[in-house]
Amino acid sequence: MNIELLHIHKRFGPVHANNDITVNFNEGRIIGVLGENGAGKSTLMKILSGYQPATSGEIRIDGQPMTANGPLAAIANGIGMLQQDPLDVGAFTVLENFTYGQPGGIFFRKSKKFYEQQLAEYAQRFGFDLPPDVPADNLSIAQRQQLEMVRLLALGVRTLILDEPTTGISAEQKDDLFDALRSLAHNDGMIVLLVSHKLEDVIALCDEVIVLRAGELVGAREMPATTQELVALMFGGELPTPERTSAPIGDTVLTLDDVHLRGERLDMPHISVKVRQGEVVGLAGLDGSGQELVMRACAGLEPCHGGRIMLKNSDMTGKGYRDYLKQDVIFGAAGRIEEGLVAGLTLTEHMALVMNNDPVIKWNAARERMTKQIDHYAIRGRESDNIEQLSGGNQQRVLMALLPDAPSLMVLEQPTRGLDVESANWIWQQLLARRDSGTAIIFSSAELEELVTYSDRLLVFYAGRIHEVTDVANVSIDALGHMIGGEFEAAH
């Protein structure tokens, strides 16, 4: 299978997201698709996979034009895309989602046992944990990505597009995934397109890369290449390396006093943690290890089954998210569109939701405020754009623009998920500015370097247990990786 994209243009109003892109993808190759957030790489992949039509241009498969539009037509032509935010159905079980799109769909035209066996075979091949009878709503983001990937393979795709597939999975799972992708490309002759901001993944996996900048194809090269060479291709030069900084530590903002939490698979008694003004506490661990439960409890989104939660001198035990908001606690979910933002609303409408403290919406004020924030936060979009029109990085910038300037506590799930190096550094500049004003920050991340760089303390989660690391400056990335795997003695 060989794919040609010929003179692809895509416009969103005045924004030229893809500008005259011509590129070939050949079978048996793993190709990295690189570029800063907003460069147009996801748009190009959505055009190829049928999720968006091109404004102009042509796609050819083995020399023949692909005339039909839409994801189903792309899959019929052997092209499937694993989105960064997977397109599953939350109320369906894992098995029902797996069969979705196949002949017979969830009604199991083939026997249920056949699909269960097929799912189990794919899960075993890739090292995924995909219990068939669990609703998709109960899966982690990483598990949802894994489910969508095996679903596409079961549909018979020959070109597999993966958008940030290694977020939230362990090093061992990533090795298994990469081995499988190499087998799919090099042994089975598939095309694998990897959209990723993790340059170490691109270096480890890809045979070649293409680079987009501001909607244009600006470079391509065979691998191997160094991180510095790829950064120079993406940004036109080297980027400054973030340095560890700290702020004066003030009074205690948050106290978990012998708190007991319960999740679908975890029982976590006797959690005692304190977080102080100007402190950044990083939460490390594989998905499902307990950090999500703790973070949501700190924002009133998860009930306690024992113990107390205090915000300064206020007992918040048993209170909900709105009560925490009144205490200047901000929660940022890992799922930007699912929980952080509202699909279908414009940027101005998002600002109106944040500003609205009376029954009458002041549209002019909301529009003016959003326009100023677009300029201040360098958001590539207009106040009238729907939020889903923006790239992941620009959605993250919108989230920052909607936050208050000096909250008491920020609880952030993977605040730089899916962002390129420059965008991630920029997000942290904004967060540290708030920290310097006295805000306490709790954050989780799948990026070990990010955790070590920005945390004053680390809480490492493993199977519901918590290990605290206070001397973060002297903890290596390798040691942290071992701790995440349950080897807590690696801290010493």
Share of the chain above pLDDT 90, in %: 56
Residues paired with residue 309 on neighbouring β-strands, in sequence order: 256
Which H or E run includes 231? helix 227-235
Instruction: Identify the pLDDT of residue 57.
Output: 95
Q: Which of 57, 38, 37, 39 is nearest to 47 (CA)?
A: 57
Q: Identify whether the C-beta of residue 169 lies closer than 8 Å to the C-beta of residue 162.
A: no
Residues 295, 311 share a domain: yes
Residues 228 and 364 in one domain: no
224 DSSP assignment: P
Is 260 within the bounds of a domain? yes
In a domain, 170, yes or no: yes
HSE-CB for 7 with a 13 A CA cutoff: 3
Q: Are the C-beta atoms of 234 and 211 separated by less than 8 Å? A: yes
Residue 306 has pLDDT above 50, yes or no: yes
- Residues 238-268 have pLDDT tens digits of 777 777 788 899 999 999 999 999 987 789 9
- Given a cut of 90, whether residue 426 has pLDDT beyond it is no
Residue 272 has pLDDT above 90, yes or no: yes
Per-residue pLDDT at 106: 57
pLDDT digits (tens, 9 = 90+) for 79-129: 999 887 678 888 899 999 998 877 665 565 678 889 999 999 998 888 788
Question: Do 442 and 482 fall within a single domain?
Answer: yes
State whether 393 and 413 are in the same domain: no
Compute the Cα dihedral for 72, 76, 77, 81 and give only its sign.
positive
Residue 164 and residue 272 in one domain: no
Regarding whether 304 and 206 lie in a shared domain, the answer is no
Is the predicted pLDDT of residue 491 greater than 70, yes or no? no
Q: Is the pLDDT of residue 492 over 50?
A: no
Q: Average pLDDT in the 209-222 region?
A: 92
Burial tier of 267 (Cβ tally within 10 Å: 0-12, 13-18, 19+): exposed
SS (H, E, C) 234-296: HHCCCCCCCCCCCCCCCCEEEEEEEEEEECCCCEEEEEEEEEECCCEEEEECCCCCCHHHHHH
- The candidate with the shortest Cα–Cα distance to 37, out of 234, 273, 233, 181, is 234
How would residue 170 be classed by pLDDT, with cut points 50, 70 and 90? low
What is the average per-residue pLDDT within 319-345? Answer: 90
Q: Which of 205, 235, 265 is the last residue of a domain?
A: 235
Give the number of domains in the chain. 3
Domain enclosing residue 209, as ranges? 2-235
Out of 235, 266, 293, pick the residue that ends a domain.
235
Cis peptide before 224 (omega within 30 of 0): yes
* Tokens matching residue 147: 């489910």
Q: What is the pLDDT of residue 489?
A: 58
- Out of 353, 379, 403, pick the residue that ends a domain: 403
φ and ψ at residue 200, rounded to 5 degrees: -65, -30
What's the pLDDT band for 482 if we cut at 50, 70, 90?
A: confident
